[in-house]
Amino acid sequence: MVERQKQIGRDRVSRLVSWGHWFAFINGLLAIIVGYRYLDTIGLPDTFIGWGYLVISTIGHFSFLAFMVYLVLIFPITLLLPYSKILRGYAALVATLSLCLLLYDTVIYDDYGLHLSPFVFDLAWADLNALLRGTSYIITPMAILAIELTLANFLWKRVEKIRKRNIGNKVVAVVGICFVASHLIHIWGDAAEVTEITHFDDAYPLSYPATAKSLMESYGIEGTQNRKDQTPPKTSLKYPLAKMQCMADTQPNILIIAVDSLRADLIDASTMPFLASYAKDNMNFTQHLSGGNQFNSGIFSLLYGLQGSYADAVDLHFQSPVLTQELTSQGYQLALFSTQDTLAIPQGIFNDFERIDAEHTDSFAHSDLQSVANWQQWSKAATKPWFSLLNLKSPESYDTPIGFLGIKTVKAATELKPAQKVLFNQYRQSLNFVDKQLEQVISTLPSETLVVITGVNGKVFTSNSNEASVNLSPASIHVPMIIHWPNETSGKQVNYRTTHNGLVPAIMTQTLGCTNPASDYSSDQSLMQPSDKSWVYVGDHRIFAIYQESEITVIDRHGKYRIYDNDYRKRLKKKLSAPELIEVMREGRRLYVH
């Protein structure tokens, strides 16, 4: 008798487990239906490869999520309380909450471009009224609960018939194959840079597709496709928002000198005497911020005029900046002078430039000398109005040429560790070398040339690249912005805060005669006037900071955030400033087509 009761108990648990598996599978299908809203946000693929990957990855991902919910929240209750009525009601409630959470995530993703995290939840809670419109937030959960209860009871009555058909193993095999195949295809797509596959990397919540580019390359398996050679995917970014209306009265030559790792606080008479004097004689923006602390985010904001969250937009791998497009249409000759193998994201950023690269061996200082010589030769031979970008890299690696006679060491204005003191003075030597190159370039230019001298990003004194990559302090963001406008010789110190994003609108309106509002093609207005925003976005989509009047909020890709004071020293124990951060998130989605 006891043995029979144990057998009955085991049969009941077995039936409940079988029912739970099918309940999880069908909820995976329901999750796919809800998850279709993500595709409304990012757009559907146009190719067979894109559709094939999307179908198998969607089936594999949402089935996996549904099974994880079952395994963590429902399966243990099956063993503890093996009673069908209790389990069916509980499972229906769990499934309803899960689908509602997924549905809420689709709303947030459509509005902010981010999935739920502690940071995003705080933000969305403050913006709840705008996100949840009407009464659907009440009706929808009730409708889902009714569907789940009906589904739970329907499956329970038919679970034995389903078990007898022996199709469970086939379903598991299909789902398993989809899950594994989607990751294998993504490994290939990532290595071959197939944007129709990688376009969906961040589309679904808790999605971490496998990548193995370095492993494949170590075995000699290289991507055969290049983004420039591929057909652009369906456009999801409208950049610019309207057709550009531009008509210039004159066509001055334009030179932008962008120096890697150029801090604003060291543009002084002892370190960079020429640039310090040049700043006094021209327009000097003393509170200028780069778009990021790395080359990619800094140069992106400088040329596109957009905040760094747009840098990973697939469309921009095929679309050059509006600035260079307009310069090309107005007949300018464009050239980029940098070091060999200088790459930037997105890949379309330099498409309009003729690249004249300096060879890089073991010294960026030697490469900079060659870049300056290349620029001088090219500018003398130019037969049309020209726009050139001269990128100097020495300060990034504290480099000076062999035999360079530098300047005497000084004590830093702030407290530094012993190792930092060495880097500080070596950095000053590099800046002094760059200063002499700037003098050589500028002294040969006619006054009617528009000249912009700025830093791509700032510099923190560390030899640890990982530490530098996550440091978004003013030292790594505050850079000089010095502009010589043609035929204007009087110096002007501008003390309101400006950003790299404001340079493109300034050139477009002041020089190229564009009448479009800056919001059509930029995340900021012209730096010739104070911004009406109370915040500045710096960084990329992985880690970024929001600079406000009295605090700096740093947020990583997982939604963890820390709030610092203006000196980036004291961590403040306070909540996020929701209104400004909501504006930041909305700006990061403003140019996407919905």
Neighbours of 524 (CB within 10 A): 27
Q: Position 288: which residue type?
A: H
DSSP for residue 254 = E
Distance in angstroms (rounded) separating the CA atoms of residues 319 and 290: 22
Fold designation for 254-587: Alkaline Phosphatase, subunit A (3.40.720)
H/E stretch holding 455: strand 450-455
Predicted confidence at residue 264, as pLDDT, reads 96
User: b/e for 457-471, b at 16 or more Cβ within 10 A?
Assistant: bbbbbeeeeeebeeb
Structure tokens given for 63: 């089935």
- Burial class of residue 475 (count of CB atoms within 10 Å of its CB; 0-12, 13-18, 19+): middle
**Which pLDDT does position 337 carry in this prediction?**
97
Per-position DSSP letters for 263-307, written without gaps between them: -GGG-STTT-HHHHHHHHHSEEEEEEE-S-SSHHHHHHHHHH-S-
CA distance 101 to 137: 11
Most confident segment among 72-81, 116-125, 272-281, 443-452: 272-281
Return the pLDDT at 445. Answer: 92
212: Cβ contacts below 8 Å, ≥ 6 apart:
187, 190, 191
pLDDT reading at 359 higher than 70: yes
| CA atoms of 351 and 317, how far apart (whole Å) | 9
**Do 336 and 393 contact (CB within 8 A), yes or no?**
no
* Averaged pLDDT for residues 449-462: 95
pLDDT per residue as tens digits for the range 494-531: 999 999 999 999 999 999 999 999 999 999 999 999 99
pLDDT tier at 540, thresholds 50, 70, 90: confident
List for the chain the helix, strand, coil content (%; round to 5).
Answer: 50, 10, 35
Among 46-60, 417-431, 576-590, the minimum mean pLDDT is found in 576-590
Confidence of residue 535 (pLDDT cuts 50, 70, 90): very high
> How many angstroms separate the CA atoms of 422 and 220, rounded?
42
Reported as a single tens digit per residue, the pLDDT across 183-211 is: 999 888 888 778 778 878 888 988 888 87
d(CA 482, CA 455): 10
Question: What tokens does 220 get?
Answer: 């000699």
Nearest of 242, 231, 238, 241 to residue 199 by alpha carbon: 231
pLDDT at 6: 58
DSSP state of 71: I
pLDDT for position 197: 85
Confidence of residue 162 (pLDDT cuts 50, 70, 90): confident
More confident residue, 4 or 166: 166
Domain-wise residue ranges, the chain: 2-229, 254-587
CA distance 255 to 483: 10
| Per-residue pLDDT at 116 exceeds 70 | yes
Taking a C-beta distance cutoff of 8 angstroms, is the pair 354, 221 a contact?
no
Helix orientation angle between 503-510 and 295-304, rounded to the nearest 10 degrees: 30
Contact by Cβ (8 Å): 221, 191: yes
pTM of this structure: 0.79
